[in-house]
A = this chain, B = another copy of it.
Amino acid sequence: MSKKVTLHEALNILKNAKNVILVSHVSPDGDTLGSTLALAEGLKQTGKKVTIMVDDVISSTYSFMPGIGEYIHPQKGQHYDTDLLVVVDSSSLDRIGIVEECVKAPILNIDHHVSNTGFADYLWLDDTATATGQMMFTLLKEMQVDITLAMAICLYVAIITDCGNFKYSNTTAASMRAAAELLELGVEPNLVSDFIEMKPRKNIELLCKVLNTLTFFDDGRIGIIEINQEDYNKDIDTDSFISYPRYVEGVEVAVMFKAVEPEKTRVSMRTRWIDVSKIALSFNGGGHIKAAGCTIEANLTEAKKQLVTKIIEEMRANK
């Protein structure tokens, strides 16, 4: 297990290193990228040699972030020398990909995930933080470096991507106050969200196809959308699609079906009141009460039939 450290101990560990590698997690999101970029800038101001790494492709969504072009993608078999490896916003070691093999150095992990596995030598964890970006902002203020507009933008992106622009339940008064301070440093929230909301054309084209499948069952209490196998493309982010049936008046359970293979259908569910994790569990899936998922070993038509029947049963049982 990691030695748990405080903010000030983490600061000391950083102070004692001359040469630092920072790594963001695979499937990089705004929080891991923004937190890494801001810390990198702060450490550079204190005279350190800083390298930032990620073992994955960075979505073009984030190409506007100041400093994003400085990421190195580590090469298999190559070794990178450093005094300290800082693992940013990762709850487990597999989240850093091949960096685990390429960098041999003491690890400081800065993270906010309650599920953190304690893999690092030193762990500064704050699971009450909305985003690692919020912790990083506190750290940089303690470091007494100049928080430039570029850093402020990165920290703002970090916070908003982890709390759905202040719409998720993990939004707190503290993260809102941090965001307020970042606005005072010059961040323009409208410009940031203009960039964050940009999507590839194929994404909107798929959304359009998927909305055409919107159907309702049980007098409009169940709203479903589907992606057939022909349209299924794992490179298109479809996470937000379920919000369309979810936010239709009268819908109590929203479901998205994805035909990932001829006899394999992936299911996501969102609900207002019944426990969809129970339904997911009965198909060997899991999740939370209001958001759950499973994979049904059947074609889309059959999977839909089975699941809708199950949901109706569950709604009747809980009336």
Interface residues of A (CB under 8 A from B): 60, 165-169, 171-174, 176-177, 179-181, 183-184, 188-190, 193-194, 197-201, 204-205, 207-208, 211-212, 214, 216, 220, 243-245, 247-250, 272
Supply 15 A–B pairs (Cβ within 8 Å), ascending by A: A60-B249, A167-B189, A167-B193, A168-B189, A171-B183, A173-B184, A177-B177, A194-B247, A199-B249, A201-B216, A201-B220, A204-B214, A205-B214, A208-B208, A211-B211
Instruction: Provide the bound-state CA to CA distance between A174 and B211, in Å.
Output: 39
CB pair B201–A248 under 8 Å, yes or no, is yes
Instruction: Provide the bound-state CA to CA distance between A285 and B269, in Å.
Output: 45
Known A204-B244, A205-B214; 9 more pairs at CB < 8 Å: A167-B190, A168-B190, A197-B247, A198-B249, A199-B249, A200-B248, A201-B220, A204-B214, A208-B211
Instruction: Provide the bound-state CA to CA distance between A211 and B214, in Å.
Output: 14
CB pair B183–A180 under 8 Å, yes or no, is no
CB pair A243–B204 under 8 Å, yes or no, is no
Complex contacts, A250 vs chain B, CB 8 Å? 201
Complex contacts, A200 vs chain B, CB 8 Å? 248-249
Instruction: Provide the bound-state CA to CA distance between A220 and B201, in Å.
Output: 9
Instruction: Provide the bound-state CA to CA distance between A265 and B314, in Å.
Output: 48
CB pair A173–B183 under 8 Å, yes or no, is yes
